[in-house]
Structure 1
Amino acid sequence: MSSYRKTLEKGAKAYRCGDMPLDAFLIVSGSVEISIRRDGVQIPVVTLSSGEMFGEMELIDGGMRRLTASAMTDCVLQIIKREQIVERLDNTDPIVRALLQRQLSRFRVALELIESDVIADTGHTDPSASVVTSAIAKLRLEAQLREALEQGVLEILWQPIGAIADGRIVGYEALMRWPHVDLGDLMPKQFIALAEETSLIVVLGDYALQRVCIALRALADCGCSPMPYIALNVSGRALSSAVFVDQIIASAVRHGIDTAWIRLEVTESVFLDYHQIEELIQRCHAVNIRVAVDDFGTEYSNFSHLHRLAFDTIKLEQNFTHDLDQPRCLAMVQAIIAVARAIDADIVAEGVETDAQLQQLRQLGCDYAQGFLIGKPLTSTELLASIS
């Protein structure tokens, strides 16, 4: 059983009055009764069922449990760790924290009134049901993501990047996929933003880095020559870490691979601190790691990025590729390729799906292409099979 799951048989207690609160719980299946002790008798307060959360208020409050939670049926509970909630509170707006403290005060008063058999209006107004539902769904997904990381079920797929001139596969981009039991295969955009709200993104990044190094070691052991690179997407949280590049170096040494086989991709949306990114690029170049600006052409695009930061590669956002049949788009791509040439950077066109797009990019002088025409994302087994 995962450390993020708990099973209770009918009649068992999730916690008792007087316990120190360590976790909150989401009910995956079954029902739970919350009760309070008064005059030596347990008085039911509420019965909760699948999808509902309990134990969070006392967890935030930090005091001893004043309520008892009992399984009314056999139950499966998703555990919400204390640090998940505390980290979110620490990072939230001060006004929100103040409002929460006010609600906690009312929570304490309400418990005291129930214990003393007095009914009173505490002035509490329930938040919107949709807000509560959304918050619970987010906490549930975060707990499930932590569980998936713990069990190693997140998959890394490898999408080929080909040289347009001769069709050679020169590298791969590491793409994370989460095979969720209930929701099916989740792509990064469906859970990366959630991880970025907390330090979970650091754990997720290290998970991806280790699997990239394992894959590169396997490719080297297969005698792959010339050796392809693998590109790894970098989060804003990783960029702010002073030891990020040191962690890459240490992982490369541990797996016996060349750091030049690893490439980093940085999206323009994290360009908040030029000095920070400039320092990252310099440190990467010192150990032969090339750095790409990803999704160039999105809402954050700015040619000053290319002027001020020594990127090795520009990855052209896929909408440019899809609209190459439009004269204005064609002219813009031609200009971007000319700029790349002038600053000695490579160009990778993303989202290449047709022969016509590939031919047009070849005529424009684009270096590399990525997309379903070049190759679909491969599992690790398929990757090694394609090499051998």
Structure 2
Amino acid sequence: MDRTRIQVLFVEDSEVDVELALRSLEQGGFEVSWDRVDLEEDLKRALGSSKPQAILSDFSMPRFDGIDALRLSKELAPGVPFIFLSGTIGEERAIEAIRLGATDYVLKDNMRRLSTVVRRALAEVGERERIRVAEEERARLVQILEATSDYVCMTDPAGTITYMNAAGRKLIGAPESGGVGKSAPETYPAWARELIEREGTPVASRAGVWNGETAILGADGTEIPVSQVIIAHRRPGGEMRFFSTIARDIRERKAYEARLQYLVNYDPLTGLPNRDLLGDRTLQAVAHARRAGRPAALLVLNLDRFKLVNESYSRGAGDTLLRMVADRLKSAVREGDTVARLGGDAFAVLATDLARPDDVLAVARKIREAMHSPFWLEGRDLHVTLSTGASVYPRDGEEFDMLLRNADAAMHRVKADGRNGFQFYAATMTRQAALRVELENELRLALEKNQLEMHYQPQVVLANGRIVGVEALMRWNHPQRGWIPPGQFVPIAEDSDLIHPLGEFALAESCRQIRAWGDAALAELRLAVNVSAQQFRSPGFVNAVERALRAASLEPRSLELELTEGVLVESRDRTVAVLHGLKELGVQIAVDDFGTGYSSLSYLSRLPIDCLKIDRTFVSQAHRHGQDAAITQAVISLAHSLGVRVIAEGVETVEQLEFLRMHRCDQAQGYLFSPAVEPGAVARLLGDGSIEPSAGKLN
């Protein structure tokens, strides 16, 4: 058996008693190194030179009292066990000795206890030393934690805070108690709390540690971004003891990253997107344009004679002017368009979601108007002009670099031609201009050679499916190009003088066809004919309508002219006069695409209208019970309150139909019933008298 080495100091006047004690210790498994003193001076010297592991003292000695030895030992060697080994100590004295600091006592006639008492005393000393060291380590750790600038928090397994350091208390605005007893999740915003509960704590419990970026709620409730580590602490048996969290405030880092990101994407002088961000947005615009089948345009704008500003004004005047130009450009473009600075005195505008390529002209015109007023620079008026070039997706390119290069080339062509102007990318516009000229010429021939046809889309009563009217829609059957959609040739007609003969043809042919169906006793129908803004504003429009009615011998009440809101809000006095002239003829008036314009309800209520038509863009989503549904319901209610009919356009699904029926819409038209078809197909539908939705889509 291994023996325990021990250093013992005897305070004893009897060498025999020392021998007996040594024999008892050796029998108890100790290997003893020892010394003996019996005077106070010797005890002081012995304790001064070395510290024994145990002091065994007699209680009564001729030259040295045991209690004095105890007091001296506690003063000079306070951590060393002091055990009385005496034959004369009584119980009362023993209790008093222990009260004064003695570790234990052993009677000399019961020496067998000595090794047990010594071993227990040594174990207690070892445990006290371990506790002392642990407390010192804990104190050092707390001192370090209190001094660190990072948030440190400890919680029990249930999430209750048991400790929070000074940095943590300062971060969350907690009192000196550090939020002890508070639930740790309360210190996080909802999204961070959910992340920690879903990922942080489970991963730490499983793997021992988790780290990530979260946020802590500051004293004022603001979110403080932090880099956080969660550590799980377990007992040797695997039972969870507590969790510790270390979090570092990363607000400065986030702000720095945001600043870097800003500088990567924005021009520091004007705050506009830079070339890189413009490129990203152009890619997005091209992707959207490809899905939607609509063009987008990129305009490059350059300040004319900007060099003179730098030469004529102070050093910073050029930068001031660039910032003012940037502000005006932002105010001139549409919502959703992007103004960017390419560098120097060059800017760019990304115009998205255009109806047709020529719409970019309207964007350029607004920019030109925005630059018309002089700039007030250093006490003087300064007139600034722009040279602008534009490229259009997809005809001028499908990638940002190509669109930018082509727009820049068009801009330099403007510079070469004398500045202060606008051009499209030259080669592409030549082809487009040629095509428009060709179509315009061929459209004139189409009128002469009867290539234009009128098709008709039935309008039905939702209650029973009865056909009560048709909308007349023009079609062009080109001998070489085939069927050309109205969206391609009507804008050309509107930009030329052809819209008037086209409108007259549509009106005359449709009136003739309605009268023909009436003569054939198929039905008495209401004829709806679209009227363009140019037709409506022409001086002889009312007379032209009267001539068409008279030529077809058609009752005026059978004709309904459809006008958009945009037509109605322009030149209001003249509009009201023309409408009253039409009503005197007995013609009905419908507001087409209602809800997409800007007419006021008070103005609308004063107009002599008979019908509101709900635009197909609202009808298509009405059954989904969103904003479009609310608008559709509002138009129906408005029509009924005004005492006029309401027709829904573009009805294509049974769900849309049921929604309209539920909300008491009067009539509808759309592919669910029938597309616009040629007169013979309409005659067959009229023979049936009504249309069931399942019978729609006749060709």
On the 8 A contact 1:174/1:232 being kept in 2, the answer is: yes
What corresponds to 1:201 in structure 2? Answer: 499
Deviation per CA, 1:32-80: give whole Å up to 9, x if none.
Answer: xxxxxxxxxxxxxxxxxxxxxxxxxxxxxxxxxxxxxxxxxxxxxxxxx
CA distance in 1, matches of 2:427, 2:627: 47
CA distance in 2, matches of 1:177, 1:308: 35
On the 8 A contact 1:154/1:178 being kept in 2, the answer is: yes
What corresponds to 1:184 in structure 2? Answer: 482
**2:659 is aligned with 1:360:** yes
**2:462 is aligned with 1:164:** yes
Deviation, 1:300, is 4.5
For structure 1, which segment, 312-321 or 280-289, has the greater mean C-alpha deviation from structure 2 after superposition?
280-289
**2:535 is aligned with 1:238:** yes
CA distance in 1, matches of 2:450, 2:426: 36
Deviation per CA, 1:126-148: give whole Å up to 9, x if none.
Answer: 98222222211111110011111
CA distance in 2, matches of 1:355, 1:361: 10
Change (3 A) 1:132 1:305: farther
**2:672 is aligned with 1:340:** no
What corresponds to 1:279 in structure 2? Answer: 577
Deviation per CA, 1:303-359: give whole Å up to 9, x if none.
Answer: 455234232111100011111113322222212211111111211000101111111
Structure 1 letter corresponding to 2:678:
T
Equivalent position SS for 1:213: helix
**2:444 is aligned with 1:139:** no
CA distance in 1, matches of 2:451, 2:603: 37
On the 8 A contact 2:620/2:650 being kept in 1, the answer is: yes
On the 8 A contact 1:347/1:366 being kept in 2, the answer is: yes
Deviation, 1:215, is 0.3
What corresponds to 1:288 in structure 2? Answer: 586
What corresponds to 2:621 in structure 1? Answer: 323
Change (3 A) 1:178 1:357: same
Higher helix fraction (1 or 2) = 2
What corresponds to 2:562 in structure 1? Answer: 265
On the 8 A contact 1:213/1:257 being kept in 2, the answer is: yes
Task: Kindly indicate whether structure 1 or structure 2 has the higher relative contact order, using CA contacts under 8 Å at least 6 residues apart.
Answer: 1
CA distance in 2, matches of 1:221, 1:358: 32
Structure 1 letter corresponding to 2:553:
G
CA RMSD of aligned residues (A): 2.3
Deviation per CA, 1:221-270: give whole Å up to 9, x if none.
Answer: 11134x11111100111111232122222222222221111110001232
On the 8 A contact 2:651/2:672 being kept in 1, the answer is: yes
Deviation, 1:175, is 0.5
TM-score (norm 1): 0.64
Alignment of 1:52-71 (within 5 A): none
Change (3 A) 1:191 1:304: farther
On the 8 A contact 2:470/2:525 being kept in 1, the answer is: yes
Equivalent position SS for 2:677: coil
For structure 1, which segment, 143-152 or 282-291, has the greater mean C-alpha deviation from structure 2 after superposition?
282-291
Segments of structure 1 that go 5 or more residues without pairing to the other structure are 1-92, 94-122
For structure 1, which segment, 124-133 or 135-144, has the greater mean C-alpha deviation from structure 2 after superposition?
124-133
On the 8 A contact 1:239/1:276 being kept in 2, the answer is: no
For structure 1, which segment, 212-221 or 138-147, has the greater mean C-alpha deviation from structure 2 after superposition?
212-221
CA distance in 1, matches of 2:626, 2:549: 45
Report the identity percentage. 34
On the 8 A contact 2:620/2:656 being kept in 1, the answer is: yes
Equivalent position SS for 2:576: helix
Structure 1 letter corresponding to 2:666:
D
Deviation per CA, 1:193-239: give whole Å up to 9, x if none.
Answer: 111112110010111111112101211111134x1111110011111
What corresponds to 1:174 in structure 2? Answer: 472
Equivalent position SS for 2:530: strand
On the 8 A contact 1:159/1:172 being kept in 2, the answer is: yes
CA distance in 2, matches of 1:296, 1:262: 19
Task: Give the alignment partner of residue 223 of structure 1, picking from 479, 504, 521.
Answer: 521
What corresponds to 1:383 in structure 2? Answer: 682
Equivalent position SS for 1:142: helix
Deviation, 1:301, is 5.7
What corresponds to 1:73 in structure 2? Answer: none
Change (3 A) 1:149 1:327: same
CA distance in 2, matches of 1:263, 1:319: 22
Equivalent position SS for 1:135: helix
On the 8 A contact 1:245/1:280 being kept in 2, the answer is: yes
Structure 2 letter corresponding to 1:361:
L
CA distance in 1, matches of 2:491, 2:599: 20
Task: Give the alignment partner of residue 247 of structure 1, picking from 531, 540, 544.
Answer: 544
Change (3 A) 1:200 1:304: farther
> Highest Rg: 1 or 2?
2
For structure 1, which segment, 327-336 or 285-294, has the greater mean C-alpha deviation from structure 2 after superposition?
327-336
On the 8 A contact 1:321/1:349 being kept in 2, the answer is: yes
Change (3 A) 1:308 1:183: farther
CA distance in 2, matches of 1:335, 1:360: 13
What corresponds to 2:3 in structure 1? Answer: none
On the 8 A contact 2:616/2:648 being kept in 1, the answer is: yes
Deviation, 1:181, is 3.4
CA distance in 1, matches of 2:578, 2:464: 32
On the 8 A contact 2:467/2:686 being kept in 1, the answer is: no
Equivalent position SS for 1:193: helix
What corresponds to 2:40 in structure 1? Answer: none
